[in-house]
Structure 1
Amino acid sequence: MTTQNLLVELFVEELPPKVLKKLGDAFAGVLAEQLKALGLATPASAVTAFASPRRLAAHVTAVAGKAADKAVQQKLMPVTVGLDASGNATPALLKKLQALGADVSDPAAAVAALKRAPDGKAEALFYDSVVPGATLEEGLQKALLESIAKLPIPKVMSYQLESDCELPGWTSVNFVRPAHGLVALHGSTVVPVKALGLKAGNSTLGHRFEAAVSPVVFQDADSYAATLHKDGAVIASFAERKAEIARQLAAAAAKVGNGARPIEDDALFDEVTALVERPNVLTCAFEQEFLDVPQECLILTMKANQKYFPLLDAAGKLTHQFLVVSNISPEDASFVIGGNERVVRPRLADAKFFFDQDRKKTLASRVDGLSKVVYHNKLGTQGERVERVRAIAKAIAGQLGDVTLVAQADQAAMLAKTDLVTDMVGEFPELQGTMGRYYALNDGLGEVVADAIEDHYKPRFAGDTLPRNTAGVVVALADKLETLVGMFGIGNLPTGDRDPFALRRHALGVIRMLVEKDLPLSFQAIATAAYDGFPAGLIADARTELSLFLLDRLKGYLKDLGYGVAEIEAVVNAQGMSTWRDLPARLAAVRAFAALPESPALAAANKRVANILKKAGEVDAHVNPELLQEKAEQDLYAALQRFVPEANAQFDAGDYTASLQTLAVLRAPVDAFFDDVMVNAEQMDLRLNRQGLLKSLHDAMNRVADLSRLAA
């Protein structure tokens, strides 16, 4: 079968930049998938996606002009239905064959051409036919329409077709942006497919201002990218355009010198790549007086509003220069540079004005203003919420430290939300917390409280840093617990992929702080403190649901750290597991224990012991040595007396790995015990004594983890 490479391009008006890459990948992916499903492309056919501000395109290798014919066997009906007693075709069979296009002019010949084969308990008639393979025109038409229909379009717009298009008049088309051109080349041959009122050709339009020729004509499918670059001044590949921007940004920063580097922001990088067809990086500057404003404000306004790349110096401080990715390359770039500098100046002036105005009032003077900000219609205002967070923070601080920590945490909790009513945060909500820190320092509150105000939102996302100081950890815990308890208390639980109040993120933040900050806090204790922070009757008690939710998130967190399900279940179900601070050490100990040759036998024995004790009910871990009659139980008791104190001392010292390895020597006496001793002896005192021996064994073995969870 002869094959050639295929190129399809859809030329449109400027596409939404934030989803351009996704649109390009989807367009090419679905198109190739459909061609492969129709047999026009092979599984080995390579697919290349192109996406620029005004085009989506796909290049597919080894595409056939016609798919191979396909032999198909179709079940018709049971023999008893299709043939009469004489073996002649019934009217039902002839009608079915006629519908399939078979020749029924000679019924006997038509029946003779059929196959009979078992079908369950009966015998059925089968019709063999050859389905012609799809032509490229038919298949590409279907694949193109399918790829357009399956585009992940955020919002569709309707527009009327042009009067000279294939379907003139007032016909409307729904698409992400108005489409103006379609290219479909199989080798050098145009495939006459249609879409969105357009008929395919071999030409497109290049750069709006810098194309060398218009239209840009392609000789064949393989010359698409090179021709578009040469004649159209467009880099069609999203990845190549992004790489070119990165190269130019690095070169421009190097010219600035002093270790300057553009800020790293993947989302901004992708968005700018989606805004230009042929990038040209230019260096601009603003007045140095604006550097008196916190750099987070300046960086945000340049990134969010103007799509600029601020330049940082070697120490990570913002400089007065920034980089612009222009879509044009004039001989004299001064007008472009000057224009961008004029545009950014009012933005920076606004930020400076907000900063200066906000500093005229202290954070403490803004606390009352929070009573006018609604937090949730069932949970009251931000002012009421702050009082709950303060109560929770003081309770947690009291468990962790002295009166100094309590005072610091209380002050930070009281002021943590006050920057929400500042002008700067009103303009840039992303700066909440950050501006609170600057204003706290301006008020002379000191770095401990200022850092805690900024950090109480942390961790904001997966992989984010944790609060820098203990006061910040306390307020962050209180803030997240107040949210979790409040939302669970009014029934606002996450469902499926919906989590509007980010409760999963809050839960993960609580877990990370308890584990990674090595806090000696019981989750049950701080959850109780959180519930106590709410006025009676405001919320329902959803403690059980919240605990299960946190436990599920805890298991997910540990799984992401690389631990297996059995290891996690063993540790989180350990006896007396009240704090999560030593989970990593316990998990490491369980993993080391599982690698020992004694591990499988001891885990299985532990499971057996657990089942025996469960059936026995309440069992006292008390052993009377005088009632130990069998040698095997005497040996097990002696081993426990010898090794358990050592293992307990290692456990108390936090050396969980050594504790479990010390207990591994119990394998032999445990195996002998179960081989030679009847636990449920008829004599009640012997039975209770043996159960007590097993309870002592079980308690000793399961301090680090529930080892029965490791049993196969």
Structure 2
Amino acid sequence: MSKDILLEIGTEEIPARYLESSAAQLAEICEKEFETARVGYRRINVHCTCRRLIVYVRDVSEKQVPKRNVFLGPSEKVAYENGKPTAAAIGFAGKYKVDIADLFVKDGRVCVIKREPSLETEQVLPDLCVSIIKSLSFPKSMVWEQSRFRFVRPIRWIAALFGKKIIRFQIADVKSSNFTCIRHKKKIKISEPGKFISFLRNKSIIADCSSRLGMVKKAVSAAVRSTGGAVRENDENFAIVSNLVEFPSAVLCRFDKKYLSLPKELIIYTLKNQKNFVVFDGKGEIMPYFVAVKDGISTNLESIGKGYEKVISARLEDADFYLKSDLKIPFEPNTEKLKGVIFHEKLGTVYDKVSRFSKLAEQLCDNINSSQKINKKVVSKICFLSKSDLVTRTVTEFPELQGIFGRICAAASGEEKIVSDGIEQHWRPITYDGELPDTAESSVVAIADKMDSIAGHFAAGNIPTGSADPYGLRRAALGIIKIAIKQRFSFSLKTLIRNAVELLPVEDCSKEKSGNLISDFIKQRLNNYFCELGISADTADAVLSAISDDIYDSYKRGLAVSGVRKQPDFAPIAAAFKRIGNILKQAEKSVSLSEFGPPDKNLFKDDSETALFEKFVSVKDEFNACIDVGDYETGLKIFITLRNPVDSFFEKVMVMTGDERIKKNRLSLLYGIYRLFMRVADFSKIVPKNKV
């Protein structure tokens, strides 16, 4: 008869940001470990709170699943001679401790079958549980006892049951038992796994993450009802708070109306930083209320609310003090103070960084081809003031307000709106899916700033590896890509990288190496982003293999190729292009194609050669004209008109003929076609649909 398994790992409070990934990881590990251990089950459920990770496995088999292993031995010819086993066959049988009669031949090889015994599940569970717990990994972990076992937080208890029986094992200094802990570390005996989740609920512990999140939203919504206001449904604090508590209870609190005179962002950050919810009226204005969420049932809410209000009042008073202090001081001189703020030991101060990307932004303005008019004076001013808020007391105390507070200070100092807004927007995007700069000027500064950071860290040896990217260089590269596409900026990426690297205070050898690495790094990000936009992987590869120096131009070519792929003539002409590429690649081993002149019509031996040449000549100028103005869609429609003459050419003509003059003439024709259409994409990279 099947039984259920319960494994609960009780810990000190786990950081909220770790819970979601830990639960997903735990589920994946359990599936893998149960499969490896050959233990059958019906379903694995994983639950988690800030104090416990729970695995509940339903209908676990009482015995391991039988396993039949087939081992291959020597060939039949080596194993048998005249029907009798040789020393090779005898040795093979001895290795696996079977009789010679147990050997059999399959596909010309001698084989043996070994069946692993099916142990009682109860026997394998201790090692299985230990393996599950030890396989968990976290961004940061702790050591708390002599064995130096590492875990996200110290383990305080482990409950492990198979049916009603304890699965006995030890992790670090903790032995498994049939006891769990509820609030204030009170121990309670568990009767059976199947009732454990409902048992916790009865003790005011909601183990299911989605249920707990729903409770937080419902409780917060109910708390603000009396105010006539509401909290924003997309508030990221919902997910955070639901992972900070085991049973949410919402408390409506107030703060003094005088603080409503503070900048909106300052109030929001102060409240959200304390994991509270901001209350807005119907017009989107902040109301003098906030909602706090406590852990536990709703008792003594009035006195608890006063405690929350006391904390928030103190924080808002601090914010008010720092704001007034900073606004008394002229904003522009703050830039000089950046000389005392280190950006990186190898790259100098933040002031040095500002000086570098100011020059880079100026060069970028000259390099950009855009329909928008870019005001270089505004760009220069944004650059100069962009980091000045970093030395203010407000940003020192509230670092998440960098840029935002710069905008507030610049506006208060009388700067133009385009400048003050640019100071905030040049930091964008802050997150992967964050907002992008609105204006062309702030976009130029954002690109220059990000490129300086990428170039600087690459030169300093801080190159992202694996999942590690402590300086956010992948996000910076993606930010450059997204901004260029949004603003329709056409510029030479190689020039931008070269200029950024040349401005760095590092040795020349590091600069050259860094430039090549940065180019590949951004190209990879661009390839990935194209795939996110729905441009297939082979289309992205085809476009970027041809030309990848202009981000926006590459994007337009990617869209155009994606569109024309839907036409029936595209796949055959792409296949023919691939054939052309293979022929030229083979030819390049013995000749230099770049030295070929135009094909000689007098050397054509077949009408198909003449037809292809004449079609190529007739479309060449029209195609180039389309490409020169970025009309890739029309250009590609011209490209696919070559299908019939190309097909006819390959049906009737052998390119690599024995006559060298004719062969070179045919190669010259194909090379001209290949080079022309490489202005859009390397169509040899296109994979037919049935092979994708």
TM-score calculated relative to the size of structure 1: 0.81
* Equivalent residue number for residue 610 of structure 2: 634
Judge conservation of contact 1:41–1:63 (CA < 8 Å) in 2: yes
CA distance in 2, matches of 1:123, 1:528: 63
Q: Identify the residue that residue 656 of structure 1 maps to in structure 2.
A: 632
- Tell me which of 315, 329, 342 is aligned to 1:347: 315
Pairs within 5 Å for 1:526-675: 526-534=496-504, 540-541=511-512, 542-574=514-546, 578-610=549-581, 611-612=583-584, 614=588, 615-619=591-595, 622=598, 630-675=606-651
**CA separation of 1:310 and 1:520: change in aligned 2, threshold 3 A:** same
2:248 is matched with: 279
Counterpart CA distance in 2 for 1:75 and 1:705 is: 49
Q: How has the CA–CA distance of structure 1 residues 469 and 599 changed in structure 2, closer, same or farther, with 3 Å as cutoff?
A: same
2:426 pairs with 1:426 = no
- Aligned partner of 1:246 among 211, 217, 240: 217
- Other-structure match for 1:167: none
Distance change (3 Å), C-alpha of 1:471 and 1:9: same
Give the 3-state SS of the residue equivalent to 2:333 in structure 1. Answer: helix
Which residue of 2 is the match for residue 374 of structure 1? 342
Number of the residue aligned with 1:435? 405
Q: What's the CA shift for 1:695?
A: 4.9
What is the 5 A alignment of 1:395-414?
Answer: 395-400=363-368, 405-414=375-384
Report how many aligned residue pairs link the two structures: 667
**Amino acid in the other structure paired with 1:552:** Q
Deviations 1:56-94 (A, max 9, x none): 3222111234446778899999xx9xxxxxx9xxxx99x
Q: Secondary structure at the match of 2:551?
A: coil
For 1:134, the equivalent position in structure 2 comes to 120
- Which residue of structure 2 lines up, in the alignment, with residue 148 of structure 1? 133
- Sort the Cα spacing of 1:263 and 1:157 in 2 relative to 1 into closer, same or farther, 3 A: farther
Does structure 2 retain, via aligned residues, the 8 Å contact 1:18–1:270? Answer: no
CA distance in 1, matches of 2:13, 2:39: 31
In structure 2, the partner of 1:55 is 52
**Partner deviation per Cα, 1:367-398 (whole Å, 9 max, x = no partner):** 11111112222222222221111111122223
SS of the counterpart of 2:680? Answer: coil
Change (3 A) 1:195 1:255: farther
Distance in 1, matches of 2:625 and 2:71, equals 76
Structure 2 unaligned regions, length at least 5 = 79-84
User: Does structure 2 retain, via aligned residues, the 8 Å contact 1:644–1:663?
Assistant: no
Shift in alpha-carbon separation, 1:362–1:635, aligned structure 2, 3 A: same
8 Å contact kept, 2:206–2:247: yes
Q: In structure 1, list runs of 5 or more residues that go unmatched.
A: 81-86, 103-110, 161-170
Provide Cα deviations, 1:11-67, integer angstroms capped at 9, x if missing partner. Answer: 44444444344445555664565455444433xx21222323433322211123444
How much does 1:442 deviate?
Answer: 0.8
Which stretch shows the higher mean deviation, 423-432 or 672-681? 672-681
Q: C-alpha displacement at 1:340, in angstroms? A: 0.8
CA distance in 2, matches of 1:180, 1:545: 47
Equivalent position amino acid for 1:293 in 2: L
Aligned-partner Cα distance in 2 for 1:362–1:59:
62
Aligned to 1:364, what secondary structure does the other structure show? coil
Letter of the structure 2 residue corresponding to residue 297 of structure 1:
L
Greater shift in the superposed pair: 417-426 or 111-120? 111-120
Name the CA distance, whole Å, in 1 between partners of 2:600 and 2:14: 82
Q: 1:386 aligns with which of 354, 360, 365?
A: 354
Displacement of 1:600 in angstroms is 3.7
The Cα of 1:478 is off from its aligned counterpart by 1.3
The residue number in structure 1 matching 2:493 is 523
Residue 412 (structure 1) shift: 0.7
Structure with greater Cα Rg: 1
Deviations 1:187-231 (A, max 9, x none): 4x233624356666555443449xxxx76554432221222222x
Secondary structure of 1:281's counterpart equals strand
The answer to whether the aligner puts 1:357 opposite 2:325 as a matched pair is yes
Amino acid at match of 1:407: K
The 1:194–1:646 alpha-carbon spacing in structure 2 relative to 1, beyond 3 Å, is closer
SS of match in other structure, 2:469: coil
What letter matches 1:64 in structure 2?
A: S
Match 2:277 to one of 298, 305, 309: 309
Distance 1:174 1:657 in 2: 57
Which residue of the partner structure matches residue 82 of structure 2? none
**SS of match in other structure, 2:130:** helix
1:324 partner amino acid:
A
1:8 equivalent in structure 2: 7
Distance 1:414 1:334, change over 3 A: same
Measured in 2, the distance between the counterparts of 1:130 and 1:384 equals 68
In structure 1, distance between residues paired with 2:451 and 2:350: 15
Determine the C-alpha separation between the residues in 1 that align with 2:148 and 2:355: 57
Moved more, 555-564 or 650-659: 650-659
Residue type of the alignment partner of 1:158 = W
- Output the amino acid matched with 1:359: L
**Structural RMSD (CA):** 4.2
Q: CA 1:334/1:574 → structure 2, altered by over 3 Å: closer, same or farther?
A: same
Conserved 8 A contact 2:593-2:671: no
CA distance 1:565–1:619, shift in 2 (3 Å)? farther
State the alpha-carbon separation in 2 of the partners of residues 448 and 392 from structure 1.
20
Change in CA separation of 1:664 and 1:61 when aligned onto 2, cut-off 3 Å: same
Inter-CA distance 422–133: structure 2 relative to 1 (3 Å threshold): same
State whether structure 2 residue 438 is matched by structure 1 residue 468: yes
Correspondent of 2:451 among 464, 481, 489: 481
Contact 1:480 1:507 in 2 (8 A): yes
State the partner residue of 1:163.
none
Rounded Cα–Cα distance in structure 1 between residues aligned with 2:243 and 2:210: 10
In the TM superposition, what is the alpha-carbon distance from 1:673 to its structure 2 partner? 3.4
1:691 and 1:253 map into 2 onto residues whose CA distance is 77
